[in-house]
Amino acid sequence: MITVLFFAKLSEQLGVRSLQVEWRQAQDTDQLFQYLTEYKAEWAVTLTSQPCLKAVNQAMVNNNIALKEGDEVAFFPPVTGG
């Protein structure tokens, strides 16, 4: 299993903070994102209509990377401050 976490506004919009996904359904971060957009119809709009950052095992990633059993993937909107 892969643990998927959603933070901030993204969590509020999706109505969930975490989700478990079978590794066979998402063997890399691109497959995971695709799986999530198909998980619930309304998720596709939320996930694709705004910038979304991701971290794997608490390390930021920009490109597609392979996932392994037990990984944790977090999705969150960009944070601004000032």
Pick the CATH number of 2-76 from 3.30.70.3270, 3.40.710.10, 2.30.42.10, 3.10.20.30: 3.10.20.30
Q: For 2-12, how does the pLDDT look when each residue is reduced to its tens digit (9 = 90+)?
A: 999 999 999 99
Q: For 14-61, how does the pLDDT look when each residue is reduced to its tens digit (9 = 90+)?
A: 999 999 999 988 999 999 999 999 998 889 999 998 888 999 999 999
Q: What is the pTM of this model?
A: 0.90
d(CA 82, CA 64): 31
Sign for the CA dihedral angle at 53, 57, 59, 61 comes to negative
